[in-house]
Amino acid sequence: MKSSIAAKLTQLSTRLEELNHLLSAENVTADLDNYRKLTREHAEIGPVVELFKAYRMAEEAVHSAQSMISDPEMKELAETEIRDGKQRLVSIEAELQSRLLPRDPNDDRSIFLEVRAGTGGDESALFAGDVIRMYSRYAERHGWRVEVVSQSPGEVGGYKEIIAKIIGQGAYSRLKFESGGHRVQRVPATETQGRIHTSACTVAVMPEADEIGEVIINPAEIRIDTFRASGAGGQHINKTDSAVRVTHLPTGIVVECQDDRSQHKNKAQALSVLAARIKDKQLRERQAKEAATRKSLVGSGDRSERIRTYNFPQGRVTDHRINLTLYKIEHIMDGEMDDLINALIAEHQTEQLAAMAEEV
């Protein structure tokens, strides 16, 4: 084991002892927020320290066996114990390295998911509709709630643009690598001659910002406009200026929200999306700086990058970042995305391990 990893694990062992002492104090629950923070930290590092203890025990077993190898009567047994012990050390060290990977502080958060039609006219809007349905079905499978924040329907169906909030523990950790360009190849429903068309949509996944303190929006730097929400008409047509458009002047970010009949609720939703977009912009700027020194295959979040192709005639989905092709397009479009997502997460962890190995 590298000395830097051993030092980190020793620090965690010391910290666990401190936490045990703090959590055993009589007045520990006086500050419930601090108590929850301490118990969460204890739950995170406890299993890692237990693994480290198992590693040390396996090390001692190997050393003990090596001391017996000079005894002719014990040599065969000692060699077996050394071989098994070294295999166990390799296995435990790999798991320890995985558990020590830097944790994304946003992983547990809910997300805002934006899908926009790209090239391809009506067909790209239809595809955008299929993509938001795919993510909605995936969310359902994980027990997450999906709320539409804003939508602009396409002329023949689907969406020119749709923003949804996916609310659930770990939503960002599972979907954070979905940002980018998604391309579809298929025969559109509007095609009379059976020709395959190519169209595209873009996806942006943004972690929800904390309500307080994380993203500071200066009221003097935003412009809020109200307007009458567009709709199909009829008895439910909106007769008041309930729709809200928020413009963040320093960045030029514009958010519109008109799905609720309450101007107050639309304003609150728009400000939430604005905070998430500002946070996302800051996150991508940081990732761009990191990419300047180390290129990440799956973590760049570059909106202009084509990340995936959905080829319906061939029944395949290809993720171009990791050269993965799966011939189960119908299942994936119905929300069975774990094979894709698990492969992306595994590749990202491999990159992190490689970066850890390069550290002095």
Residue 212, pLDDT > 50, answer no
- pLDDT given at position 302: 55
Closest CA to 292 of 284, 281, 304: 284
- Range name among 51-55, 95-99, 176-180 with the lowest pLDDT average: 95-99
Higher-confidence position of 322 and 240: 322
Higher-confidence position of 130 and 260: 130
Class of domain 111-351: alpha beta
Give span(s): CATH 3.30.70.1660, the chain.
Answer: 111-351
Mean pLDDT on 314-325:
95
- The continuous run of DSSP H or E covering 53 comes out as helix 32-68
Mean pLDDT on 189-214:
81
Q: What percentage of the chain reaches a pLDDT higher than 90? A: 42
Q: How far is CA 83 from CA 55, 63, 80, 120, 242, in A?
A: 15, 12, 5, 60, 72
The mean pLDDT value of the chain amounts to: 85
Give span(s): CATH 1.20.58, the chain.
Answer: 3-99
Q: What is the pLDDT of residues 119-140, one digit of tens each?
A: 888 899 999 999 999 999 999 9
- pLDDT given at position 69: 86
117: confidence class by pLDDT, cuts 50, 70, 90: very high
Q: Which fold has domain 3-99?
A: Methane Monooxygenase Hydroxylase; Chain G, domain 1 (1.20.58)
Mean pLDDT on 213-225:
80
Q: How far is CA 248 from CA 225, 260, 291, in A?
A: 12, 21, 27
- Range name among 122-136, 149-163, 300-314, 330-344 with the lowest pLDDT average: 300-314
Residue written as token pair 């992306």 = 344
Residue 303, pLDDT > 60, answer no
Burial (CB count within 10 angstroms: exposed 0-12, middle 13-18, buried 19+), residue 36: exposed
pTM of the predicted model as reported, rounded to 2 decimal places: 0.68
Q: Which DSSP string do the residues of 101-133 spell out, in sequence order? A: SPPPTTTTS-EEEEEEE-SSTHHHHHHHHHHHH
Instruction: Check residue 178 and report its DSSP letter.
Output: G
